[in-house]
Amino acid sequence: MTEVIVSETLAAANARLAAALRQAGRSADAARLLAVSKTKPDAMVRDTYLAGQRDFGENYLQEALDKQEALADLQDIVWHLIGPLQSNKTRAVAEHFAWVHSVDREKIARRLDEQRPDALPPLNICLQVNVSGEPSKSGVTLDELEPLAAAVMNMPHLVLRGLMAIPAPATSFEEQRAPLAALRKALERLQMRYPQAPLDTLSMGMSDDLEAAVAEGATLVRLGTAIFGARQ
């Protein structure tokens, strides 16, 4: 296997994002990369940070905590939890992350709110929506979204920033766009309902559907493979 040079793959990923934004007629700073570093060693995360990346996404709590400890000297690194979250693990998440993208139950949100230390800024939350309607997937349905959003809005240690989705794989660009458009419209409805809230985040788009996601308004594109290479 050839070794991945993250300074090069990161530059290529940023160029790909810039091209997608231009193609969509959006401004160059309308979306940014979230580097998904699950299963990759902390040395690789450090190299990516040194190449200019600040936002990193992790799926597994213990792995993330180990990396955070190894990289504690990187003061302005921003850690996002993007994987499923069990209610018995919320305390460590509330204490050690800046963002959680995978909130899909009020009980989890309530625990994060109660356990977020007062000394830290509010925890940034994206609600995960099951846009493709797959029965076994995480995420609320579009019908369940409104009451969950209303509950999170009232939690003082959380700040609702937007929505996240992992659509079912699709082959054509148009097929990719449909669920991403549904997520964008769901965010637009929340923005109309809560005009004062900082609802500025659409966490969508991965290595295979970045262009479709940017065309539909993604603001935070979660790239793993494209930056770090294939996972084992």
Which candidate, 181, 184, 140, 167, places its Cα nearest to that of 222? 167
User: For residues 79-98, which are near ligand PLP according to CB under 6 A?
Assistant: 82-83
Give the one residue of 38, 46, 137, 157 binding ligand PLP; rule: CB under 6 A.
38
Of 2-10, 41-49, 111-119, 203-211, which part binds ligand PLP (CB under 6 A)? 203-211
Please report how the helices 106-115 and 142-153 are oriented relative to each other, as an axis angle in degrees rounded to 10.
20
- CA atoms of 57 and 34, how far apart (whole Å): 6
With H, G, I as helix, E, B as strand and everything else as coil, classify residue 135. coil
Minimum distance between the CB of residue 101 and ligand PLP, rounded to whole angstroms? 7
- CA atoms of 39 and 58, how far apart (whole Å): 9
Residue 32 found at the interface with ligand PLP (CB under 6 A): no
Q: How many other CB atoms are there within 10 angstroms of residue 48's CB atom? A: 23
Site for ligand PLP (CB under 6 A): how many residues? Answer: 14
Name the residue whose CB lies closest to ligand PLP.
Answer: 224
Cβ atoms of 61 and 88 closer than 8 Å: no
Which candidate, 207, 204, 210, 212, places its Cα nearest to that of 223? 207
Minimum distance between the CB of residue 189 and ligand PLP, rounded to whole angstroms? 23
- CA atoms of 182 and 225, how far apart (whole Å): 25
- The continuous run of DSSP H or E covering 126 comes out as strand 123-128
Of 152-160, 176-184, 190-198, 221-229, which part binds ligand PLP (CB under 6 A)? 221-229
Nearer to ligand PLP, 14 or 207 (CB): 207
List, in sequence order, every residue forming a beta bridge with 126; answer none if it has no partner: 162
Of 7-15, 89-97, 176-184, 218-226, which part binds ligand PLP (CB under 6 A)? 218-226
User: For residues 147-186, which are near ligand PLP according to CB under 6 A?
Assistant: 166
Residue 127 found at the interface with ligand PLP (CB under 6 A): no
Residue 6 found at the interface with ligand PLP (CB under 6 A): no
Of 24-32, 41-49, 89-97, 200-208, which part binds ligand PLP (CB under 6 A)? 200-208
Which candidate, 102, 110, 48, places its Cα nearest to that of 74? 48
Of 7-15, 23-31, 68-76, 224-232, which part binds ligand PLP (CB under 6 A)? 224-232
Binding stretches for ligand PLP (CB under 6 A): 36, 38, 59, 82-83, 166, 206-208, 222-226
